[in-house]
Structure 1
């Protein structure tokens, strides 16, 4: 019954004037606020500022050296009083220090659910592709392409298909796209394309049951190395239960998805179906631990590392504590896991930055104004020894009235737009604004209201 109620709400919340807004400009950066509506003693399973949600939508921002701009997508809305999802794109001009009015790539037409948020790709010719997430078989996903290179003014629909949690990557061979389909449960797929218009058949990556006849399900995060290797870390959902998500796996491909291997180059047969396989990185089921994958990257040698939160269960509050921010990496010979710090919610989300020996995690690890809720105060954690040990370099925000959440890392990030996020009340419907910042501790707020086509962001720190 709960599922039916949630679907009804998501499909019927609208905005006041009924106008279809795709390919129009919005007068400012207005973030979406959302709650799942699964209540527990210490609040909703997750709710709050979810403009840059989910962790399984990647990438959300890309810096382009060709035009010296950072392009970024997010889930927007029509006003501070409404929950009406608009799939948005904006741009920050590093030369002028200004942001454009954002463009509505796709008006979700009554959906208020940021599971439908977009992700981003820029092809070799400068065309901007926005992948709009659907939601299982209930709502389709879309691929949109800009009508002009490096322009966010207008987008054309290229495909309509079943596609959730899009993760598109540009490689030397073409487009590589990780995504999820609800084939009974949440299962992982990929597809490839040379031109973005014609795509291969969907190919399943993993289907790991505990026992024969049981369902399986997975969530993943992915990335590329030198535009050639693609890799993905994923967890598993015992018997399809997302509230029991556990274990950590890793697989990779160096030939555009033709063959897949373990980290030690052992060739694999897809989909992965074996529980105790060569690709399992950590056995968390043995200790009854949940894990929530957040981000991944590669070091200069092409060794992968994954950021995730490890906890004792899915319910918010002290029952599931500690909420440990973990980094698991391949050091060339074995997998090693370190704990960065702790926070107070499974859906706290940050990003992992890898720069040779210097690694950083940026996220809402500090206690925020709404206890046991999504987000908090932001901090930067650093490691000078490739993720073996961590120290807090600086606290980015403090004394905030609203919680900061879902800190995202642009591809090829360039200061001052090193990471971006939004804020909002973790437990009650509120206005949500968007921000970006750099590793020096400076923070800018994107203008919520814009009367001009371009404005300078507001420096708040």
Structure 2
């Protein structure tokens, strides 16, 4: 980190909100012997559009957070774990190409360079940066705040408005910690930000619709994980949260926009089993910033959805006792949704639940067409889908080549593995594979698609050891499949990402071999 004679913003955040904001301080953990305030007592606070701009400290390299969840007491160690700086699929979007600036802006969950060495040193750093397509360089990442947790569920997302202001939504995980909304002080600039709102939300998914404003899909913890949405004309003055879906114990969702439309696909968590029994696939969309909702066929839907059987149901997986893990949602050239998800027999890692299959659900204009060909060795082998033209698809994900081949992952059966690029010219019926990484030390995972993706920054992700704390590096790929690694050490203000080995396209996929 560069030394300076002034109090830098992240240092002020470490000292507490009172050190830099005109609001009462919020304690992440209650003092010993006291009862914590209820979330409704502490959040949501009122947005503060007049918050003073604060200069971000610049870090000397790119380091992603390492995180683990739910020990399994077996060789796989955790339900999921690894380098999770771009976690999770339900945080959307994490990158955004701005043609006016010719830059791809992105956020990620970082950690100190030595954060993998001990639990005490591991803390989540909310980082913002960009890739300059004119120069091919990246700056030192801006440190927006220290979240004072090692939980990757608190990772950020971002959205740009039509003037180029960057809004960063920093998640909470449940109600134990606050969430934040930041706005850049200048368009297309990551030097200074205003903290315009301290509140509470989880799994943030903000969308800006030209001429209308923001639709903010998110989760609120109220007897489960219930889906909600809010709207705002300017990203500062927000409506009250409106419930979207609350079936039994809740949902996970993925969403996307197409023109003025926003769609969301989600599973549900049964009363028995909860999130580890997540199942079924649903889809609804709104053409008018949440005023009305409808199915892909245009049939009106009354929200919130509260029953398992409803018109939004795409496919019933509960009756077959199959689990549904959502990866991505995008639209084709006609504005029809395409959903990517993994179907599994159980929540536990390891071969006992193999093989997991990667499915796509595509709305044809008349019906949902569902196909599954690619395989995965972990429920959290998360990737992203690009739809190119009328029938060409490009999936970037850490999937495997075939069921009779051992997993190619550095840490098999843990999240991620070697990153692959799969291309299809027939709407996902057949695929051709291309290795993006090979012979890696760590698993690569959580490939994320930028909004308005540029061909030179088509997806980005992190790596990390699947079973024990490790360093975690950030990568991005071009549309062609050339992979770059972001610098972990920077002696200057800007640096050129490192080009990794290139692997040409290989044979068509056959999961039975």
**Larger displacement relative to structure 2 (77-86 or 138-147):** 77-86
- The structure that is strand-richer by fraction is 1
Matched position secondary structure for 2:399: strand
Match for residue 70 of structure 1? 104
CA contact (8 A) 2:297 2:365 kept: no
Alpha-carbon distance between aligned partners in 1 of 2:151 and 2:192, rounded to the nearest angstrom: 24
Alpha-carbon distance between aligned partners in 2 of 1:197 and 1:107, rounded to the nearest angstrom: 23
- Write out the 4+ residue segments of structure 1 that deviate beyond 6 Å after TM superposition: 18-22
Question: Is 2:118 aligned against 1:88?
Answer: no
Match for residue 421 of structure 2? 380
Matched position secondary structure for 1:205: strand
- CA deviation map 1:406-429 (0-9, x unaligned): 111111111321111111110011
Q: TM-score, normalised by structure 2?
A: 0.83
Shift of 1:22: 8.0
Alpha-carbon distance between aligned partners in 1 of 2:64 and 2:341, rounded to the nearest angstrom: 25
Matched position secondary structure for 1:333: coil
Shift of 1:40: 4.1
Distance 1:19 1:99, change over 3 A: farther
Unpaired stretches in structure 2, ≥5 consecutive residues: 1-10, 17-53, 401-407, 502-513
Match for residue 4 of structure 1? none
**Which aligned pairs between 1:307-386 and structure 2 lie closer than 5 A?**
307-356=340-389, 357-366=391-400, 367-386=408-427
**Which aligned pairs between 1:384-399 and structure 2 lie closer than 5 A?**
384-387=425-428, 389-399=429-439
Alpha-carbon distance between aligned partners in 2 of 1:312 and 1:194, rounded to the nearest angstrom: 43
Alpha-carbon distance between aligned partners in 2 of 1:332 and 1:291, rounded to the nearest angstrom: 24
CA contact (8 A) 1:294 1:351 kept: yes
Unpaired stretches in structure 1, ≥5 consecutive residues: 1-14, 210-215
Match for residue 6 of structure 1? none
Q: TM-score, normalised by structure 1?
A: 0.92
Cα RMSD of the aligned pairs, angstroms, is: 1.5
Alpha-carbon distance between aligned partners in 2 of 1:453 and 1:340, rounded to the nearest angstrom: 45
Count how many residue pairs are aligned between Structure 1 and Structure 2: 436
Alpha-carbon distance between aligned partners in 1 of 2:495 and 2:373, rounded to the nearest angstrom: 37
Match for residue 258 of structure 1? 291
Shift of 1:123: 0.6
Shift of 1:242: 0.2
Alpha-carbon distance between aligned partners in 2 of 1:445 and 1:379, rounded to the nearest angstrom: 16
Shift of 1:318: 1.4
- CA deviation map 1:33-86 (0-9, x unaligned): 011142243331001010000110000000100010000000001113342100
Match for residue 404 of structure 2? none
Alpha-carbon distance between aligned partners in 2 of 1:19 and 1:177, rounded to the nearest angstrom: 30
Match for residue 207 of structure 1? 246
Match for residue 189 of structure 1? 228
**Which aligned pairs between 1:2-401 and structure 2 lie closer than 5 A?**
23-41=56-74, 42-80=76-114, 81=117, 82-109=121-148, 111-172=149-210, 173-209=212-248, 216-226=249-259, 228-239=260-271, 241-356=274-389, 357-366=391-400, 367-387=408-428, 389-401=429-441
Alpha-carbon distance between aligned partners in 1 of 2:397 and 2:320, rounded to the nearest angstrom: 26
- CA deviation map 1:401-448 (0-9, x unaligned): 111111111111113211111111100111111011113221111000
Shift of 1:340: 3.6
Match for residue 441 of structure 1? 481
Matched position secondary structure for 1:36: strand
**Larger displacement relative to structure 2 (438-447 or 217-226):** 438-447
Alpha-carbon distance between aligned partners in 2 of 1:340 and 1:257, rounded to the nearest angstrom: 35
Matched position secondary structure for 2:276: helix
Alpha-carbon distance between aligned partners in 1 of 2:70 and 2:288, rounded to the nearest angstrom: 43
- CA deviation map 1:284-326 (0-9, x unaligned): 0011100110110011111101111100010001122211111
Larger radius of gyration: 2
CA contact (8 A) 2:457 2:479 kept: no
Matched position secondary structure for 2:106: strand
